Chain A
Amino acid sequence: MASPAQQLPPGWAAEWDQNAQRYLFIETATGRTQWEEPFLDPEGALNPVPTASPPPGQHHTKRRQYAAGQTQAYYGADTIAPPPGPAYGAVPGQPAQPSQLFTPGLAAEGQFAQQQIGQPGQPPYYGGAQPEPEYINQPGFGQGPVYQQPGVGALADQFSQMNVGQKGLRLFTTNLLTAPPEPLELHRPPPDIILPPNSCLSNSPFANADPSYQRCTLNAIPTSNSLLNKSKIPLGLVITPYRSLKEGDDPVPLITDTVIARCRRCRTYINPYVQFIDGGNRWRCCMCSMSNEVPQLFDWDQVRNQPGDRWARAELNHGVVEFVAPTEYMVRPPQPAVYVFLIDVSHNAVQSGMVATATRTILENLDRIPNEDNRTKVAFIAFDVSLHFFSLPAGTSDSSMLVVSDLDDVFLPKPTDLLVNLTESRAAIENLLGRLNDMFTENHVIGSALGPALQAAFKMMAHIGGKIVVLSSSLPSLGAGALKNREDPKVLGTSKESALLQPASPFYKTFAIECSRAQVSVDMFLFSAAYQDVATLACLPRYTSGQTFFYPAFNASRTEDAVKFAHEFGEVIAMPIMLEAVIRVRASKNLRMSAFHGNFFVRSTDLLAMPSVPQDVSYAIEIQIEDNLTAPFVVLQTAVLHTTCFGERRIRVVTTALPTTSNLSEVFASADQVAIATLLANKAVERSITHKLEDARDALFNKMVEILSAYKASMTAAGAGASAQLAISENLKMLPVLILGLLKNVGIRQSAQIPPDLRAYAQCLLTTLPSQLLIPYIYPTFYSLHNMAPECGTVGEHGIIMPQPLPLTSERLERHGLFLIEDGQNIFLWVGRDAVPQLVMDVFNLPSYEVLRGGKTTLPVLDNPFSQRVNAVIQKTREMRRGVYYPHLYVVKEDGEPPLRLWALSCLIQDRADVLPSYQQFISQLRDKVNGSSY
């Protein structure tokens, strides 16, 4: 379906969805949306069922009818013909009774098993003999998601207005025992935010922040804490305030006139949810109801120097805006960006090629380091058992090295020319980077004085602040912060394992606090093949809002390793960063931010200190309902006061308004499973460190049981008794499989084989990845490439068309097939043992499966369409998400080396893996627990 827009029946529009990478079809009259292409049937009624050959199994057909039926019930539309087959759902206009709730799986008992067996008939390995693309068979989604997302534009506007009249969200129950997880569900936008009429000043679709900036676990906030407790769903906010802009994203509107209207009492920034009163001279705060004066220059256009249109102001139309801050918001003049590179030059580091790759990458990216105002400063310190400083005077290309061996009392060997202006000393910097590796090629020193090196860097930059970028290949062994190898295989898998995830030395915490005070943040790039104590070293980024990157057993002689590190390192140093930032989240009365998760230092009860804010890092905040909420809607506002890397003080304000509800079914219907999984991942990691890994797993499992029990008790007819089904609302259908994915993630998984460094790094990822990257990390994507539809991998109207994602079970693997499994950090190309030579030839340029080697690889681009399509799919996989990560590509042979095979198979989380249950077993465990517990 290259261009569906032309083939649509009247009354339909197609909208490209960036997240799902497919078209979303919208019926313009009702706002109904679905993933499948609508067809005009002979009666003239719109029916989303394609008339082409029926898909294997009747499963999909029924589900489609269900979707159509529920749409009809929801909208009461009489233009839609009644769906054929059994009529599900409530009759239009009638309120849903718990006992009449529809459970789609019930009528389709046993079909899950049928689907698990796989598709009958082996399709040819490729060539597109399939009569229709797989995804036409996807269930239609009929609940009309109103997602106010840039790009949807006028249409979203249209249907958000229509929804104003609707009374809240409708709940649809599904039975987990019979409804298998559907990967596409995860690409759906969160449930609609249906605000009461007239709550927003603006008709703009951007009045509420896009979920990629800020999303709440519940899109309808319960009016009381007891109602929230009844639902058992954790209430929290997932924020990514400094999200990067991909091609096609709208930039954040900037307000340059420094007229910043804020509430006198609660300091809330003016936003689209305030009310103008007193003839527009005053405004009422949406959080505390305080009446405030409108600033004098609010209606004045300072650019043209004439009266302006208040209603056109960005802060009244956009949920995400940025103000240029006047001097009141500055403690000191905006600081320049400062980068101090600490490079490990001990024997291991040089031999692995890390030093060469790093210096080359810095050299190549010197022009990309943020330096618009020519104020950026850099410094380089090389360290092994002593510290090597480099004097880089401006205007010459000479650099000289100064060695300091006194590690107990670190001092700077020279007061000037160590931290230098990037523009002025450019020649000297280039010269140094060009020969740094050669200076140490003969270095046989083993040992690392990382602690003293950090102290020296801190001394150099503490008066300005900025970023320390550490590149280290060994365990710190000298001076302050020296660590011991505490890896003990006997401890792994026991209750003592969590001690290995806690910092071993208090130095890294106290130093981090000092850094945070001086506005210094630390990024860690770690490379060791041996134990490096990632858990301890990651403490520095953890409390100074930096990031940790880990390249275990890095070896630059493998091109793949060098490419991955160079790409990620280059992106990190080229990334525009926010400096000297503080974040405060304000919320309507009676809502309180109660706990914070992520990389920052909590400076007061609700203030997060971040010396620098990297792009595309996520934070999770738990919210407590302190007293009953009486307002019809609440507002959550995140404000980030920061200095841009080109020296401008700014405030980024992200505002989300959410309706309140006293109806438990609406609470369930508004739950956002992706946000819940993100919040639970953060909580699980915290628990695994403060308690035990086992406690973290139990807490996850019990949380899921609690939610299911609460749902069963209050939303189904079974109530407290035993039930043959396991009910959950349609919008939470993927939560159990996400929890299972978390339980099987390297950071949390029960295993005695996971090295503590890998575990600690996985935990770093779990707590920093934004939802877009986190979800594939816990629920990987799985494609079948050998029989993908002919258009997959070719360039469509909106970039490369991706194949249909499959459920994560090895039953989908075929012996003659080629599959791709990716979790955003790694890509596995699985080759079945009976792969025909033609396939191996076309993709790998090798004569047969036998000569194919497994492991890290770079796929050749060959002169045949299939190779190009596979390469396109891989390239798109690497580029489609925000973030700096560049996944490795591994070729995995079905009968290849067991470790790699098992690693790839561990991504298929719906399978059983030693002690870890399969999805079916997990669901039965949940059911037994839910039926056993008495609620």
Chain B
Amino acid sequence: MGASGWLFLFSVLMAAGLLFTMVFFIIMFSDLECDYINPIDLCNKLNQFVLPENIAHAFLALLFLLSGQWIAFLLNAPLLVYNVNKIRNSNHMYDATEIFRTLPNHKKESFIKLGFYLLSFFYYLYRMILALIQESE
């Protein structure tokens, strides 16, 4: 298996991981709505995952950039810019005092990210298979 095959295999695994993180976020948000968890615990829990998730995504985008996978990089660039911008304005963390007011936005964001990771999962899978086929020819 060549370099791009390995790269996309790794991306598939990463995308799957990110996908599960988003599912976890969404489940936690709906728990909050049903009063199964209080906002303080929720924020403490989710905030542990925010930076790792952003770093994992940034790392993936960096790999695409270094390996010259321009299309894959460009697909990830908007989300990367969005995340960086949020961290620069230091509002990437969930705030327990504001969580109920901002909950609809958080849920929307998580669903969009979920959709994005799902699509990129299949895209990486496709690219991996493509790379394998090209190699075998």
Contact = CB atoms under 8 A, between A and B. Distances in A.
Q: Bound pair: A and B?
A: yes
A543 B97 CA distance: 7
A929 interface: no
A595 interface: yes
Nearest to B40: A513
Interface string A506-538: 000100110001000000000000000000000
Given A509-B95, A512-B97, A604 B40 contact: no
Contacts of A543: 97
B100 A605 contact: yes
Interface residues of A, number: 12
B41 to A, nearest CB: 10
A645 B13 CA distance: 59
Interface residues of B, number: 12
B35 A604 contact: yes
A595 B40 CA distance: 18
B97 A605 contact: no
A602 B95 contact: no
B39 to A, nearest CB: 7
Secondary structure dominating the interface of B: helix
A262 to B, nearest CB: 18
B88 interface: no
B28 interface: no
A603 B33 CA distance: 11
A647 B35 CA distance: 29
A601 interface: yes
Contacts, number: 27
B79 to A, nearest CB: 23
Contacts of A602: 39, 97, 99-100
Given A513-B40, A604-B39, A595 B101 contact: yes
B35 A513 contact: no
B126 to A, nearest CB: 41
Contacts of A595: 101
Interface string B40-76: 1000000000000000000000000000000000000
B37 to A, nearest CB: 9
The winner among A517, A595, A601, A605 for most chain B CB atoms within 10 A is: A605
Contacts of B39: 602-604
B38 interface: yes
Contact of A517 (B32, B33, B40, B95): B40
Contacts of B95: 509
A72 B71 CA distance: 78
Interface in A565-624: 595-596, 601-605
Nearest to B33: A605
Interface in A481-511: 509
B97 A513 contact: yes
B83 to A, nearest CB: 19
B88 to A, nearest CB: 14
Contacts of A601: 96-97
Contacts of A603: 38-39
Interface string B72-116: 000000000000000000000001110111000000000000000
A509 B101 CA distance: 16
Contacts of A513: 40, 96-97
Nearest to A603: B38
A601 B32 CA distance: 15
A764 B39 CA distance: 24
A544 to B, nearest CB: 11
A469 to B, nearest CB: 22
A509 B97 contact: yes
Nearest to A597: B101
A104 B101 CA distance: 43
Contacts of B40: 513, 517
Nearest to B95: A509
B109 to A, nearest CB: 16
B89 to A, nearest CB: 10
A328 B53 CA distance: 44
Nearest to A607: B35
Nearest to A514: B40
Nearest to A542: B97
A683 to B, nearest CB: 11
Interface in A858-872: none
Contacts of A517: 40
A79 to B, nearest CB: 55
A509 B95 CA distance: 9
13 contacts: A509-B95, A509-B96, A509-B97, A513-B96, A513-B97, A517-B40, A595-B101, A602-B99, A603-B38, A603-B39, A604-B38, A605-B32, A605-B35
Interface of A: 509, 512-513, 517, 543, 595-596, 601-605
Top 8 A-B pairs, shortest CB-CB distance? A604-B35, A602-B100, A543-B97, A513-B96, A513-B40, A509-B97, A603-B38, A605-B33
